[in-house]
């Protein structure tokens, strides 16, 4: 019987407009076209699902009042809705490139003042990423990017707080091969892509003996 090698679960994290979608698309197309790896791109929030419709409304309408704790739980529910699909894709050999995941959930809610450890709880038990690329961009630099300010959290002062809460993950993950910080300031899209590729290839080589169990 042929054993299917499971896919990798790769996550991109960072501030709003930091370049996650750009970099995740570039990595996905490299894997697909150059390495012939089966790839699927996903993102959170998934705005199409039941919970996603509420999240979309919330993000687009700054005046919509809703308790911070409740919206935090809905962002987590939005990931739980996708858990089985993620597991089955990975098991069938598909590599998933995911734009935002549970780190966003914690970083944004903690930036509003919710307790960091409390924020982690609703995501416990989800599939853990194999590799997370944290795009470390300066909040001041990215405010000039096109369309900045169109959604609820796109304000520089708030993004600075998000950056601080991501900083806690950075500290926790310093010696962790599953977390890679990519400095963004002053780098072109191409420069960042080649750095990410380089890190990805090194990671894949280090895992050639096999990767962690999924559940």
Task: Provide, rounded to whole angstroms, the least separation between the CB of residue 58 and ligand T5A.
Answer: 9
| Site for Na ion contains 99 (CB under 5 A) | no
The DSSP-derived string for 140-179 is HHHTTSTTTT-STT--HHHHHHHHHHHHHHHHHTTT-TTE
Q: Which of 81, 123, 151, 195 touches Na ion (CB under 5 A)? A: 151
User: Which SS3 state, helix, strand or coil, does residue 45 take?
Assistant: coil
Cβ of residue 12: shortest distance to ligand T5A, in angstroms? 8
Q: Does 105 bind ligand T5A (CB under 6 A)?
A: yes
7 binds, among Na ion, ligand T5A, none (CB under 5 to 8 A by kind): none
| CB 151, min distance to Na ion, A | 4
DSSP state of 40: E
Describe the strand order of the beta sheet including 39-43 as a list of residue ranges: 39-43, 95-99, 9-14, 131-136, 179-183
Q: Which of 9, 30, 75, 169 binds ligand T5A (CB under 6 A)?
A: 75
Report the alpha-carbon distance of residue 115 to residue 138 in Å, rounded. Answer: 24
Range 175-194, binding ligand T5A (CB under 6 A):
184, 187-189, 192
Residue 95 bridge partners (DSSP): 39
| Residue 41 or 207 having the CB closest to ligand T5A | 41
Tell me how far apart the alpha carbons of residues 145 and 152 are, in angstroms, rounded to a whole number: 16
Nearer to Na ion among residue 158 and residue 203 (C-beta): 158
Buried b (16+ CB within 10 A) or exposed e, 29-64: ebbbeeeebebbbbebbbbeeebbebbeebbeeeee
Touching ligand T5A, residues 143-162 (CB under 6 A): 145-146, 151, 153
Site for ligand T5A, rule CB under 6 A: 14, 16-22, 44-45, 59, 75, 99-100, 104-105, 108, 145-146, 151, 153, 184, 187-189, 192
């Amino acid at each position: 019987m042929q054993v299917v090698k499971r896919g990798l679960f790769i996550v991109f994290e960072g501030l709003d407009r930091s370049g996650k979608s750009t970099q995740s698309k570039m990595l996905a197309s490299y894997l697909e076209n150059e390495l012939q790896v089966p790839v699927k791109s996903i993102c959170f929030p998934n705005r199409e699902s039941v919970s996603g419709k509420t999240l979309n409304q919330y993000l687009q309408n700054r005046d919509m009042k809703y308790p911070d704790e409740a919206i935090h739980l809905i962002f987590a529910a939005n990931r739980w809705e996708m858990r089985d699909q993620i597991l089955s894709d990975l098991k069938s050999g598909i590599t998933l490139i995911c734009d935002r995941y549970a780190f966003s959930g914690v970083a944004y809610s903690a930036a509003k003042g919710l307790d960091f450890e409390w924020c982690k709880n609703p995501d416990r038990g989800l599939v853990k990423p194999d590799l997370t690329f944290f795009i470390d961009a300066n909040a001041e630099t990215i405010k000039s990017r096109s369309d900045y300010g169109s959604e609820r959290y796109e304000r520089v002062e708030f993004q600075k707080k998000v950056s601080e809460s991501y900083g806690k993950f950075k500290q926790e993950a310093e010696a962790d091969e599953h977390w890679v910080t990519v400095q963004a300031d002053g780098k072109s899209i191409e420069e960042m892509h080649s750095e990410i590729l380089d890190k990805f290839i090194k990671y894949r080589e280090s895992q050639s003996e096999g990767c962690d169990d999924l559940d």
